[in-house]
Structure 1
Amino acid sequence: MLKRHFLAGALLCCVGAPRAAPLPAFDCGDIAVAFYEHGALYYRDGNGQWAGIDKDIVDELGKRLGCRFHASVDSRVRIWTNLKGGTLPMSVSGIATPERLQFARFLPYFTSRNYVLLQKNSKPAVHDLASFLAEPGYKVAVIKSFKHGPTYDAWLAQLRKEGRVYETADYGSLIRLFKLGRVQAVLALNTSLAPLSRQRDLADGVRILDWAPKDVIVGGLVLSRQLIPEATAEQFAQAIHAMREDGTLRAIYSRHVGAELAAGMFNF
């Protein structure tokens, strides 16, 4: 689990009693926001339109605060580079780290967990992190710049020393490597499991394993300290709190991952 003192530095307001009245009108102007494709967080629907939890969160903020968001889609590596360089005001579903807190504020709106997707034809003896490490020919793929929680990040650090980690630019590339059998495992958030299960060429050949049950990933809005005024960030934080209290967040989660998974996404 991310250390609470990191989250304390990221949060701009604490969760308290429900607000007695709706937020006052607030025009935060035009803000560029970069999304990245990843499971139920951001994806193309059956009509080819962008959809997902992240999109619905941002759309709702626009309605409540009068913000005019200008969306783009980019790789996570470029997004973090631009945030750090002060050329991008905002992104979504980011994970706070001490380094990132130096240039961005984080406003949590969901929790998630990573699971291991293992090739079904892998050796039966591979049943946990240690036994995967013990197979020198086994490799794993991850998206470059992603944080996966303390347990998986320590495991990946060991694998990187042995040259057994593929770094991909995006989620699509990650899944393609797995389907082609170039790697024996990938890591996926639980918000990605439902979309993956609908891919018939993948679902029948994968084992979904929980090798770090105590790790929790906290994702939130990422706001540039350089480009987003603190007063604006405070308004965002109050709006997210209101969305949690009035059931909007639960409705958004349920729409994309179902009610059962949605119920466990509030531990922030």
Structure 2
Amino acid sequence: MWLLGLLAAGAAHAGCSRVIDVPMAPIGVSVRFEQGRPQGIYPTLLREVAVGAACQVAMQQVPRARQQSMFDGGQADVLIPASATPSRDANAEFVPLIQVRASLLTLDGEAAVPRSLADLVALPDYKLVVVRGFSFGPAYDAAIATLRQRQRLVEEADPAGVARALRLGLAPATVMTASILVGTLATEPDLAPLLKRLRVEPLDELGWNASGVYLSRRLGEPDRRLLRQAFGQAARAGRVWQLFNEHHPPGSLGGSIRPLP
């Protein structure tokens, strides 16, 4: 676990009342770990937010499904990154940072690809490979539950596992924000050749949605207010969008990531 005791010099407020626990899962260039040290878009953002809010943040590496279960079970204070969903809204406070659009991703394209999640589910032999614990809204969650029940789902711990499953032909497609898979392929030498083969197709039910950070309600309101303001300021100032552009290949974000309106 990496503990970031980042206290802003001369801060006008006292800072958070305790250390903020943030488990994180590898997600391409958004979150990666080098010799156990968190790197990438969101660890950088967290460090900057910690300085601005005069807080201490403890980050640790976990699989995505474990990250979600820790947050749901009250063992984590922050879930990042996360798409806004009604189930999460019931137990935590959402702060939008960016807009994302999940798509159908294939290698080299299919002769005929489904245009909607409903069409995909209706195809009797069509499989998906996904990251366990990902969510891109109610329509995605419902489709994943149906595919799992019909044994047409391959679930992996992280996007790199998804890419390898696609390469092996375990499923013809995945559904996620394209920038997640692009960032993963760009940072994994054995997967980099797949970048030229990647094809992105929109799905009718998956439009633009907010992605950001959830703050657990186990945090007191003063701590949530500090973090809410710091994350919100980073988004409004364009810092989040700047980090995405700094960490992704030029021209790779179109259609999958855009700044808040």
Candidates 239, 242, 245, aligned match of 1:248: 239
Please report how far the alpha carbon of residue 189 of structure 1 lies from its aligned counterpart in structure 2 after TM superposition.
0.9
**Does the 8 Å contact 2:102/2:175 carry over to 1?**
yes
Q: 1:4 corresponds to which residue?
A: none
**Does the 8 Å contact 1:109/1:219 carry over to 2?**
yes
**Does the 8 Å contact 1:120/1:207 carry over to 2?**
yes
Q: 1:222 corresponds to which residue?
A: 214
Q: 1:211 corresponds to which residue?
A: 203
User: Does 239-248 or 82-91 show the bigger shift?
Assistant: 239-248
Residues 1:212 and 1:39: Cα distance change in structure 2 (over 3 Å): farther
Please report how far the alpha carbon of residue 98 of structure 1 lies from its aligned counterpart in structure 2 after TM superposition.
2.9
Residues 1:125 and 1:131: Cα distance change in structure 2 (over 3 Å): farther
User: Does 109-118 or 22-31 show the bigger shift?
Assistant: 22-31
SS in 2 for 1:186: strand
Mapping of residues 45-194 of structure 1, within 5 Å: 50-120=38-108, 122=110, 124-129=111-116, 132-133=120-121, 135-194=123-182
Residues 1:56 and 1:200: Cα distance change in structure 2 (over 3 Å): closer
How many matched pairs? 243
User: For residues 207-248 of structure 1, what are the alpha-carbon distances to aligned partners after superposition, in whole Å with 9 as ceiling and x for unaligned?
Assistant: 22122486123222222212x111111111212232234343
Please report how far the alpha carbon of residue 154 of structure 1 lies from its aligned counterpart in structure 2 after TM superposition.
4.4
SS in 1 for 2:23: strand
**Does the 8 Å contact 2:130/2:154 carry over to 1?**
yes
What amino acid does structure 2 have at the position aligned with 1:148?
F
Mapping of residues 188-203 of structure 1, within 5 Å: 188-196=176-184, 198=186, 199-203=191-195
Identical aligned residues as a percent:
25
CA RMSD of aligned residues (A): 2.9
Candidates 12, 16, 19, aligned match of 1:30: 19
What amino acid does structure 1 have at the position aligned with 2:177?
L
Q: 1:17 corresponds to which residue?
A: none
Structure 1 CA distance for aligned equivalents of residues 143 and 75 of structure 2: 33
Please report how far the alpha carbon of residue 156 of structure 1 lies from its aligned counterpart in structure 2 after TM superposition.
3.5
Please report how far the alpha carbon of residue 132 of structure 1 lies from its aligned counterpart in structure 2 after TM superposition.
4.2
User: For residues 1-56 of structure 1, what are the alpha-carbon distances to aligned partners after superposition, in whole Å with 9 as ceiling and x for unaligned?
Assistant: xxxxxxxxxxxxxxxxxxxxx983342142221111113321257x9963222112
**Does the 8 Å contact 1:105/1:225 carry over to 2?**
yes
Please report how far the alpha carbon of residue 131 of structure 1 lies from its aligned counterpart in structure 2 after TM superposition.
5.5
Residues 1:23 and 1:258: Cα distance change in structure 2 (over 3 Å): farther
SS in 1 for 2:234: helix
SS in 1 for 2:160: helix
Residues 1:119 and 1:243: Cα distance change in structure 2 (over 3 Å): closer
**Does the 8 Å contact 2:139/2:205 carry over to 1?**
no
Residues 1:113 and 1:105: Cα distance change in structure 2 (over 3 Å): same
Residues 1:196 and 1:252: Cα distance change in structure 2 (over 3 Å): closer
Using structure 2 for the length normalisation, give the TM-score.
Answer: 0.79
Structure 2 CA distance for aligned equivalents of residues 191 and 204 of structure 1: 14
Please report how far the alpha carbon of residue 88 of structure 1 lies from its aligned counterpart in structure 2 after TM superposition.
1.7
Residues 1:115 and 1:174: Cα distance change in structure 2 (over 3 Å): same
SS in 1 for 2:29: helix
**Does the 8 Å contact 1:94/1:219 carry over to 2?**
yes
Residues 1:197 and 1:177: Cα distance change in structure 2 (over 3 Å): closer
Residues 1:117 and 1:55: Cα distance change in structure 2 (over 3 Å): same
Please report how far the alpha carbon of residue 146 of structure 1 lies from its aligned counterpart in structure 2 after TM superposition.
1.6
Residues 1:256 and 1:125: Cα distance change in structure 2 (over 3 Å): same
- List runs of 5+ in structure 2 lacking aligned partners: 1-9
Structure 2 CA distance for aligned equivalents of residues 99 and 150 of structure 1: 9
Q: 2:5 corresponds to which residue?
A: none
Using structure 1 for the length normalisation, give the TM-score.
Answer: 0.77
SS in 2 for 1:223: strand
Please report how far the alpha carbon of residue 162 of structure 1 lies from its aligned counterpart in structure 2 after TM superposition.
2.8
